Structure 1
């Protein structure tokens, strides 16, 4: 019996951790990343993707995580933009927060992400102010 995508799919409903092991051995990057997300191992997604040189749809993953656990989604969003070469567009990340109506989490995320006060991020600074003024008008 060889590790394969089909075998991983069969055992996934019974034991997601075992399925993850099967997908790793079978070298099926998208399924590995999906299992990491489903088992709450969000930090490993970025590490694994870099290790195997795979470029998943990080915005799709972020949306999925935000629906399940917004707090974990914030942490995942921070992972995506922490390097000098962000893995996802900051504007798209903010859009995910807005879609989920997570203004407070978005504010915390943006305050951290915009701390370098770069000129090319001015539109996001403005958007941050607009969001907060609309949510809590005085």
Structure 2
């Protein structure tokens, strides 16, 4: 196993592919050295990194352009639909406003009912207490009839 193969396996976790080996041989021939030379190994790795970065950049640019075009199409479609359905849009906004008002009215009613129930409970407790005090001052009812 050559220095290039060992280094490539430790970096990429796999063997050199035939086209990568051929590229290393070409680089070594251009530099008038062997593929075991460290400089050849580093040049090959730099080439592979640069190539991967360039490919990723091109994919990102293509995705960005596609996304921008789709967004433009979506905005145009939404604008056309909004113009076409303006009356429906105003109607739905009115329904939303009425729903919010109805919810507020319901909440107010529930709060008032809870306050009213608390007041009625207090009145009932006071009335029961007054009845108990009146009944405590008198004797039992059956005893008065028999006298």
Fold equivalence (TM over 0.5): no
TM-score of the pair, normalised by structure 1: 0.19
**Higher Rg of the two aligned structures:** 2
Q: Which has the higher helix share?
A: 2
TM-score of the pair, normalised by structure 2: 0.18
